[in-house]
Chain A
Amino acid sequence: MTRSFLTSLAGVGLLLVLAVITVINTCQSDRIERTHLDLVQRVDKMEKKLESGGFSTSNGGSGPTGGIFGAPEPAWYTAAMQDPANLLKRDRVDWLPPQAESGGTLYLHQGSDPYGFNYLTTSSNPVTEIQWYVSPPLVMRHKRNPTQWRPSVAYSMTTPDDGLTYVFKIREDLTWHDAAVDWDSGRYDWLKGDHRVTARDVVFMMDMLMNSQVTGAAPLRSYFDDLVSYEAVDDFTFKLVFKRKIYSQRATAIPSIFPVPEHLYAYDQDGNRYDKEILGQKFQDHWYNPMGMGYGPYKLTKLEPGVAVTLERNPDWPIEGAAFDKVIYLILKDQNQPPRKLRTGELSMAYLQPGQYRTEVLEGGPDSPFNNGELTPGEYWEQTFFYVGWNMRKPMFQDKKVRQALSHAFNADLLLHDVFMDLGERCTGPMPSFLEFYNKNVPAYAYDLDRARKLLAEAGWADTNSDGILDREIDGKQTEFEFTLIVYGSSDEYRTLGNVFKEDLAKIGVKMTVNPLEFSSLLKEVHDREFDAVTLAWVSSPDVDFNQIWHSSQADEARSSNHVYFKNAEADAIIEKMNTAFDFEERKALAHRFHELVAEEAPYTFFFTRKRPAFWQKDLQNVSFLGYRPYRSHWGWYWGQP
Chain B
Amino acid sequence: MFGYIVKRVLLMVPTFFAVSLIVFVVLNFAPGNPAQVALASGDGKGGQNTQLSTQTRESYRLFKEQFNLDKPILLNTRFRLTTDRVRGTLDDLLKPAGDVAPARRSDAEDNIENWGSYAVPALMDLLTNDADRTMRAFASQRLAVNSQRSLTMGGRNRLTDEQRAHNKDVAQQNGEAIKWTFTPEADAEREGAVVSFWTGWYETNRARYEYSGSDKVRIFFTDTRFAKYWSNLAHLDFGISHVDKRPVLPKIFHKLRYSLTLSLCAVLLIYFVSVPLGIWSAVNRNTTPDRFVTVILFMLYSLPSFFVGVFLLNLLSRGTPFSVFPTSGFESLEVGGMTTLDRLKDIVWHVFLPIICLSYAGLAALSRYARTGLLDVIRSDYIRTARAKGLPEFIVIVKHAARNGMIPILTLMATMLPALFGGSVVVEVVFGIPGMGSYMFESIQGRDYNVVMAVLLISCSLTLVGMLISDLSYALVDPRITFD
Contacts and interface: CB of A to CB of B under 8 A. Distances in A.
Partners in one complex: yes
Given A334-B430, A340-B327, A26 B340 contact: yes
B151 A561 contact: no
Contact of B46 (A27, A128, A305, A536): A536
A272 B32 contact: no
A623 interface: no
Contacts of B171: 277
B182 interface: no
B23 interface: no
A275 B153 CA distance: 10
Interface stretch (B208-216, B262-270, B310-318, B464-472): B310-318
A102 interface: no
A212 B145 CA distance: 13
A347 B38 CA distance: 31
B245 interface: yes
Interface string B14-54: 00000000000000000110001111111111111111110
Interface stretch (A524-532, A592-600, A631-639): A524-532
B240 interface: yes
B10 interface: no
Contacts of A328: 333
A30 B333 contact: no
Given A218-B60, A306-B438, A332 B159 contact: no
A69 B337 CA distance: 31
A225 interface: yes
Contacts, number: 229
A125 B43 contact: yes
A307 B58 contact: no
A289 B251 CA distance: 14
A538 B47 CA distance: 5
Interface stretch (B76-84, B95-103, B405-413): B95-103
A278 B167 contact: yes
Contacts of B58: 212
A139 B379 CA distance: 84
Given A225-B53, A334-B432, A521 B42 contact: no
B266 to A, nearest CB: 19
Interface string B154-170: 10001100001001101
A332 B106 CA distance: 37
A43 to B, nearest CB: 13
B65 to A, nearest CB: 10
A216 interface: yes
A488 B46 CA distance: 10
Contacts of A520: 31-32, 36-37, 445-447
Interface stretch (A49-57, A70-78, A280-288, A400-408): A280-288
B99 to A, nearest CB: 9
B40 to A, nearest CB: 6
A523 to B, nearest CB: 6
A321 B106 CA distance: 48
Contacts of A330: 333
Given A281-B66, A556-B97, A333 B31 contact: no
B109 interface: yes
Contacts of B435: 306
Given A30-B341, A217-B59, A340-B327, A284 B245 contact: yes
Contacts of A41: 337
A337 B445 contact: no
B103 A519 contact: no
B339 A34 contact: yes
B85 interface: no
Contact of A215 (B63, B246, B445): B63
A113 to B, nearest CB: 7
B53 A518 contact: no
Nearest to B60: A218
B418 interface: no
B105 interface: yes
A115 interface: yes
Contacts of B52: 218, 222, 559
Nearest to B240: A285
B339 A37 contact: yes
Interface in A380-435: 384
A29 B340 contact: yes
Interface residues of B, number: 87
B55 interface: yes
A222 B246 contact: no
B286 interface: no
Given A29-B340, A30-B339, A538-B47, A219 B328 contact: no
Interface string B387-431: 000000000000100000000000000000000000000000110
Interface in A304-322: 304-308
A517 B243 CA distance: 21
Contacts of B121: none
A451 B457 CA distance: 59
B42 A332 contact: no
Interface centre among A116, A219, A268, A538 (most CB of B within 10 A): A219
B442 A559 contact: no
Contacts of B56: 218-219, 221-222
Contact of A289 (B38, B47, B154, B244): B244
B51 A561 contact: yes
Interface string A218-237: 11111001000000000000
A39 B50 CA distance: 55
A124 B37 CA distance: 11
B333 A560 contact: no
Given A278-B151, A308-B333, A521-B31, A344 B103 contact: no
A427 to B, nearest CB: 14
Given A212-B59, A272-B158, A523 B32 contact: yes
Closest 10 CB pairs of A and B: A306-B434, A556-B97, A520-B32, A558-B106, A343-B319, A124-B42, A115-B244, A539-B47, A212-B58, A218-B59
Given A307-B434, A328-B333, 20 more contacts: A37-B339, A41-B337, A123-B42, A215-B59, A218-B39, A219-B40, A268-B158, A272-B158, A278-B151, A278-B167, A281-B66, A289-B245, A290-B244, A307-B329, A520-B32, A520-B446, A524-B31, A527-B106, A537-B46, A561-B49
10 contacts: A37-B338, A219-B49, A270-B158, A277-B151, A306-B434, A333-B429, A519-B44, A529-B102, A557-B97, A558-B105
Interface of B: 31-32, 36-53, 55-56, 58-60, 62-63, 66, 96-98, 101-103, 105-106, 109, 151-154, 158-159, 164, 167-168, 170-171, 240, 243-246, 251, 254-255, 310, 313-314, 317-319, 327-330, 333, 337-342, 344, 399, 429-430, 432-435, 438-439, 442, 445-447
Interface of A: 5, 26-27, 29-30, 33-34, 37, 41, 112-113, 115-116, 122-125, 127-128, 210, 212-222, 225, 268, 270, 272, 275, 277-278, 281-282, 284-285, 289-290, 304-308, 328, 330-334, 336-337, 340-341, 343-344, 346, 384, 488, 518-521, 523-524, 527-530, 536-539, 548, 554, 556-561
